[in-house]
Structure 1
């Protein structure tokens, strides 16, 4: 009898222990990070746009917006930094995916970093990804080799939305992959829909695993080529004939009303590369309107697919236990489709109307200057126009609905945030390799409305463009001038009033901080880098 009683007590203790473990697992949230590509600061409704983004707007209304969130100003450096919680140089992607035979510039993620997927997978999460990878094109560096259980998407940096393996550069091969195998896209393909289709499929497959999931949803929208579906374009055609000056002013006023910028903020001047609207011919105005309508339609379609993902969460009863974070990988792109870097066929396609599925064009500085309202400059530079992103976080019951947070934060913080939410430690060693300590700080206190110390300094460098953000101060320079400028972001978010001559001691202090970071992160002056050797 005593033996039977002992067995029953032991069984009860084991069941209680397992039950506690299961409760711990079930209480850990699913985590979704959604990354837009080349989307400007003012391109969604809740950050000032006329573009219809009801799903993102609903996330913002039910969650929080951070108005001073930063990326790394370019596609693959941002992705490397976001995924690893390190500055991009520390992760091995100091420039692009070109191999320069220097550890910080090898062009793919190194073995002294872990991805969010690797860390969460070790902590009991299923890890899913759909969309653009762009941190290693060799199959040895694909997502499934960096901690993702399932993957579907574009390995490379950009592609046609209707024909995604169509090369646009000489001697180029573009790859769509499913897990670790190449995938051949079929008819009726549109990339934004296809990536969301697989994200939804992966979420659905997760339902019977009794594990929380991490989804990295990396849309290519609205990166060039600007291509959209006809029904989406129809919503916007004609809305941009009022011209870029009026559009920027309207977005600027909406941003003030939404609390995104201060009421007394000033709008940056129209970019010097953009002419007077009234100097254009009717044909030129119509071409701009068409390109903007297509661009808006791309964001609209991305938003629709975010809505589809949310609907799947609701169907599975997971919507209340899922945190969703949304941001963009850099500011709007002023890049044009021209020059020897593109094939003759693509250069010819650049002249076709943007509504033509076989076209291959961009909206250039004319559209990018609107997208980046109220800032100046674009993707690639370290001014706010290159590095500032809208950021939305939604987590029912944790994040106070309708919150607006003005503290500076950075993509390096997403690793620490995800691990904090998942109750998973950041590893010191992974697969026998020493792991560089994360640079990020968890945003969970921000989400809970608690005191958050943030960072003593944030640092930026891309192809010789540089910046430091400390408190309200920002030191920034652009190559090749390499002259430091100083701005007080609390009163001059658009960086219009250079205070470097007035505060030379602050310039010296921030410059010293920058050079200390350069030494720690492995940054090399861009003009001193060896020639790229390809990956």
Structure 2
């Protein structure tokens, strides 16, 4: 058969034109990204970090992904949320303390216009953006989630509320549940952990035909006070804490070492000075505390169940293999109590009821928080490991190299850079014609992929006069109002029990100079100047 003349001369140029139009490297598919934030949950409160509380979904994610054992938050609700959402230290974002409105820019009490949220940045990169749960970085409607880049939102604008309803718990306070931009009134059968997940799932299902990837920020209220759980979940745990807090802390400590989460050199911190020996309690006191801990465990159990529901939805939508999930807590366990003039009279009355009573309004105080934060000392609000260390889990088939435990220090300021790196989206230099503060975070994507990661030269902490700086194995820390620097070798002494400041004054001087330079740069104001305006959760 004879070849027709000229055909080859036509085909070759067309083939060349086609190849020239093809990108040299096809753009990879953008993954979906989910950040799940627990509220006031301690370091050892989930199964894969030492607890006997049933968290099979988180445990499976840890086994199929990675755990970071030296990951940090900002030690309090509002500051941590501001840092997580913006990739900045909280002072740079305008939430240097709580949501009280103040004249100082670093303490104005809501996200400023010199930062962008992860939602705002990803939305510009083609993402659908959703949020369910606790906001707590801007009370006024003009600062709500849908004004900061989220397409849809359902949750609690404020810092805390009943899990079964919403009503004020402090004098002169108004609480707001919101659906997008409108206040929302819950109906019968409402339980906030379930509801936040219900709406998050609805948002994902409603958007499935858009063809866009999604970002979901699911900020659970659990297990923040008040201690309130569903009866079926409480029943799993009643009586399981009657061995007492001393034995529970020792058990968690041993499991943490067996799991390789803490080193063999780490010691269990002593029982907190505010907590008596278990044997000195009456039988009634023991049963009351067991009831509190059963409810607290049930709240975490229910959160894990809902994480399982969310993952099942991803499978149903065919998105489970293209989604990265990051899990952490906003601060350590909370020693806070429901006492004093800061609470309404009916709330104080409800605090006297057993925690398993759905009409109660209780917390688990020093004793419970001392268990939650084992093996560390102190709690939410302070900058010791008990306030700032969080369990961190990353899971994502094909992206997160599975089955690893990573001990390098990371911080929630890294989540912005991580999300943008995963999405292939640049961090903006300006937004809505306003210059944006450069991000402080470093992408964790190399860590997720099992690659080398240089990490931070130093990490810094400040909340209401409590201060710290972490550099390498060293941590310099002080608490307000003593304001005396203490120095710890975190590699050998993660529980911060052996103060080396007297024997190594040069390191104290070196790190304190780093802290002072950072504090001046981000706008920290000495807490004594703003203490009169203190408030919040």
- TM-score of the two chains, using structure 1 as the length reference: 0.96
Q: Determine the structure 1 residue equivalent to 2:132.
A: 130
Q: Determine the structure 2 residue equivalent to 1:91.
A: 93
CA distance in 1, matches of 2:410, 2:291: 35
Q: Determine the structure 2 residue equivalent to 1:168.
A: 169
In the alignment, does 2:190 pair up with 1:189? yes
Matches for 1:138-153 after TM superposition, within 5 Å: 138-153=140-155
Q: Residue 67 of structure 1: SS of its match in structure 2?
A: strand
CA distance in 1, matches of 2:14, 2:142: 50
In the alignment, does 2:385 pair up with 1:366? no
Deviation at 1:24, TM superposition (A): 3.5
Deviation at 1:205, TM superposition (A): 1.3
Deviation at 1:31, TM superposition (A): 0.2
Q: Determine the structure 1 residue equivalent to 2:67.
A: 65
In the alignment, does 2:475 pair up with 1:452? no
What count of residue pairs does the alignment treat as equivalent? Answer: 526
In the alignment, does 2:403 pair up with 1:405? no
Deviations 1:451-503 (A, max 9, x none): 11100110000000000000000000000110000000000000000000010
In the alignment, does 2:503 pair up with 1:502? yes
Conserved 8 A contact 1:381-1:462: yes
Displaced runs of 4 or more, over 4 A: 12-17
- TM-score of the two chains, using structure 2 as the length reference: 0.95
Deviation at 1:48, TM superposition (A): 0.1
Q: What residue ranges of structure 1 are gaps of 5+ in the alignment?
A: none
In the alignment, does 2:306 pair up with 1:315? no
Higher-Rg structure is 2
CA distance in 2, matches of 1:283, 1:166: 30
Conserved 8 A contact 1:79-1:329: yes
Q: Determine the structure 2 residue equivalent to 1:213.
A: 214
CA 1:138–1:533: 2 relative to 1, 3 Å: farther
Deviation at 1:206, TM superposition (A): 1.8
Conserved 8 A contact 1:100-1:530: no
Deviations 1:197-218 (A, max 9, x none): 0011111112100100000000
Q: Determine the structure 2 residue equivalent to 1:119.
A: 121
Give me the CA root mean square deviation: 2.0
Deviations 1:54-84 (A, max 9, x none): 0000000000000000000000000000000
Deviation at 1:399, TM superposition (A): 1.9
Deviation at 1:14, TM superposition (A): 12
Conserved 8 A contact 2:76-2:330: yes
Q: Determine the structure 1 residue equivalent to 2:376.
A: 375
Q: Determine the structure 1 residue equivalent to 2:280.
A: 279
Deviation at 1:230, TM superposition (A): 0.2
CA 1:496–1:358: 2 relative to 1, 3 Å: same
CA distance in 2, matches of 1:124, 1:517: 35
Q: Residue 331 of structure 1: SS of its match in structure 2?
A: coil
Q: What residue ranges of structure 2 are gaps of 5+ in the alignment?
A: 1-6
CA distance in 2, matches of 1:135, 1:293: 30
Deviation at 1:398, TM superposition (A): 2.2
Conserved 8 A contact 2:63-2:403: yes
Q: Residue 397 of structure 1: SS of its match in structure 2?
A: coil
In the alignment, does 2:264 pair up with 1:246? no
CA distance in 2, matches of 1:15, 1:217: 43
